[in-house]
Homo-oligomer: A and B are copies of this chain.
């Protein structure tokens, strides 16, 4: 049926004009309009089947869902605009806003096609990505698309989706400089190597404009932890200025408009806990290509509770990354790393930032696993520098870290990005210790369980919430000795976390833990 839809331009012929009326309502990231039941332009009860409308102002067209408001909320000649739609439209109160009943965008055919087992081409994915970026799909439709893609998606389709996602956003240009980056697919709590690799690489002199994500299903993303140290919600110009000055940055990608279609997909993947290889590859590589990266080191942790459970899965993902990257002109160097337990001690923004600071400061108590992994990864990135003799990367990385050059570079990056609203974030005041019931060695630490406890405790939204690991696999714990601490500040969240840890703390020993 979508085939019958005329081009969007014609649609506005049926539109009417209402006066913008900002409402004291925040609908999070959904676009909602509130219409009077007796609206002069659209009778809302006529929208029973689809509540979707197209709103147009300042040459910008957005899709929104409708709600009905009483007389004191919105008049018949007004369109009630909650946040974020009011902001996204960029109108002032009383400004004219055109509104028309929306017909489903043609790109929605992709859902039915995928359900029917049809493989989509680049044109189809490009249309999907463009309409996602324009907020023309509902959450329901995005969910349907993601699940349909989760069933089956060929490497060619993953490439086409990635290209479509790049095309739907801006693309940074770095004037011919060699741009490198390092990325981890996630899943390992505490694994904050980017905050070490970026300053090491920049101290060496390479350009690494790191755009990172906030947590999707984890207790902290790189952006969440960096936000404890510096502002991360930089606009493109601001990010560029930081990179000009320091050679690197560590910012949240959300405001740079790189692959905005991916932001929409991620916003639905998050509540649905969807994390397929194909979406992962398209998401990561579209962001990297859009950020102007030439060469990329990819960290793929493998372990029983990691995203990649075994070598076969890891190899399959590696090949998919390589296939898509090679067709995008992006050079990738992929490492399989130890994903058998969390990295570092802290899990949660404040705790992870503390680990990073200790490594940069050369603190002898700094977590050795985090330090060594960061050196290894930074070394691989430095090996991408044509000016460096082969195999010298790791040595050079260690040198830059031990000399304090990386620390100085990180200080400069933090100063350039500016102070964060979370600058004074402290560890949560509520503390619970999980203790060993008997004496013996730690046999295993489950990444998913630890992440779950930290997340329930409030991380990353509550930066000071999380888990502090006091033991690693192979360490011996005495009976009654604490194995990890849970931090939190909201009693309800904290209670959930303690409850979950009591049900299954995620640390395996001979005999139970209490």
Chain A residues within CB distance 8 Å of chain B: 1, 4, 6, 13-14, 24-28, 34, 37, 44-46, 48-51, 66-73, 82, 100-101, 103, 111-112, 115, 138-144, 146-148, 150-152, 268, 270-274, 448, 452, 455-456, 458, 461-462, 490-493, 495-496, 499-500, 503-504
Inter-chain CA distance A448–B82, complex, in Å, is 38
Minimum distance in angstroms from A430 CB to a CB of chain B = 13
Q: Which residue of B lies closest to A217 (CB)?
A: B1
Q: Which residue of B lies closest to A67 (CB)?
A: B27
Inter-chain contacts of A66 with B (CB < 8 A): 28
B268 near A115: Cβ-Cβ < 8 Å = no
- The residue from B111, B461, B499 contacting A6, defined by CB atoms under 8 A apart: B499
Task: Offer 8 A-B interface pairs, CB within 8 angstroms, sorted by A.
Answer: A4-B500, A13-B495, A24-B69, A25-B68, A26-B67, A138-B271, A141-B272, A144-B274
Q: Which residue of B lies closest to A151 (CB)?
A: B151
Inter-chain contacts of A71 with B (CB < 8 A): 24
- The residue from B73, B112, B492 contacting A101, defined by CB atoms under 8 A apart: B492
| Given A14-B491, A24-B69, A24-B70; 6 other pairs, CB 8 A cutoff | A45-B461, A49-B461, A50-B271, A115-B274, A141-B271, A148-B151
B115 near A24: Cβ-Cβ < 8 Å = no
B34 near A25: Cβ-Cβ < 8 Å = yes
> Assuming the A-B contacts A51-B28, A492-B101, A504-B4, are A140 and B69 also in contact, with contact meaning beta carbons closer than 8 angstroms in the complex?
no
Inter-chain contacts of A146 with B (CB < 8 A): 144
Inter-chain CA distance A147–B68, complex, in Å, is 30
B68 near A26: Cβ-Cβ < 8 Å = yes
Inter-chain CA distance A270–B1, complex, in Å, is 13
Inter-chain CA distance A1–B144, complex, in Å, is 22
Inter-chain CA distance A50–B29, complex, in Å, is 12
Inter-chain contacts of A69 with B (CB < 8 A): 24-26
Inter-chain contacts of A101 with B (CB < 8 A): 492-493
Q: Which residue of B lies closest to A22 (CB)?
A: B70
B25 near A67: Cβ-Cβ < 8 Å = yes
B490 near A271: Cβ-Cβ < 8 Å = no
Q: Which residue of B lies closest to A115 (CB)?
A: B150
Minimum distance in angstroms from A46 CB to a CB of chain B = 6
Inter-chain contacts of A73 with B (CB < 8 A): 24-25
Minimum distance in angstroms from A282 CB to a CB of chain B = 17
Inter-chain CA distance A499–B4, complex, in Å, is 8
Inter-chain contacts of A24 with B (CB < 8 A): 69-73
Minimum distance in angstroms from A252 CB to a CB of chain B = 13
Minimum distance in angstroms from A284 CB to a CB of chain B = 20
Inter-chain CA distance A71–B24, complex, in Å, is 8
Inter-chain contacts of A103 with B (CB < 8 A): 496
B140 near A46: Cβ-Cβ < 8 Å = no
B14 near A100: Cβ-Cβ < 8 Å = no
- The residue from B4, B44, B82, B462 contacting A46, defined by CB atoms under 8 A apart: B462
- The residue from B1, B27, B144 contacting A147, defined by CB atoms under 8 A apart: B144
Closest 5 pairs between A and B when the two form their complex, measured CB to CB: A24-B70, A14-B492, A26-B68, A147-B147, A4-B500
Inter-chain contacts of A270 with B (CB < 8 A): 49
A1 near B273: Cβ-Cβ < 8 Å = yes
B147 near A111: Cβ-Cβ < 8 Å = yes
Inter-chain CA distance A179–B508, complex, in Å, is 59
Q: Which residue of B lies closest to A456 (CB)?
A: B4
> Assuming the A-B contacts A73-B24, A115-B147, are A48 and B272 also in contact, with contact meaning beta carbons closer than 8 angstroms in the complex?
no
Inter-chain contacts of A72 with B (CB < 8 A): 24
Minimum distance in angstroms from A67 CB to a CB of chain B = 5
- The residue from B6, B37, B67, B499 contacting A82, defined by CB atoms under 8 A apart: B67
B143 near A147: Cβ-Cβ < 8 Å = yes
Inter-chain contacts of A142 with B (CB < 8 A): 140
- The residue from B49, B143, B448 contacting A144, defined by CB atoms under 8 A apart: B143
Inter-chain CA distance A67–B29, complex, in Å, is 10
Minimum distance in angstroms from A449 CB to a CB of chain B = 9
- The residue from B68, B144, B492 contacting A100, defined by CB atoms under 8 A apart: B492
Minimum distance in angstroms from A130 CB to a CB of chain B = 20
Q: Which residue of B lies closest to A147 (CB)?
A: B147
- The residue from B25, B34, B46, B140 contacting A461, defined by CB atoms under 8 A apart: B46
Query: Which of A4, A27, A148 has the most C-beta atoms of chain B within 10 angstroms of its own C-beta?
Result: A4
Inter-chain CA distance A6–B501, complex, in Å, is 12
Inter-chain CA distance A146–B111, complex, in Å, is 12
Inter-chain contacts of A67 with B (CB < 8 A): 25-28, 82
Inter-chain CA distance A17–B268, complex, in Å, is 30
Q: Which residue of B lies closest to A145 (CB)?
A: B147
Inter-chain CA distance A14–B101, complex, in Å, is 42
Query: Which of A49, A144, A152 has the most C-beta atoms of chain B within 10 angstroms of its own C-beta?
Result: A144
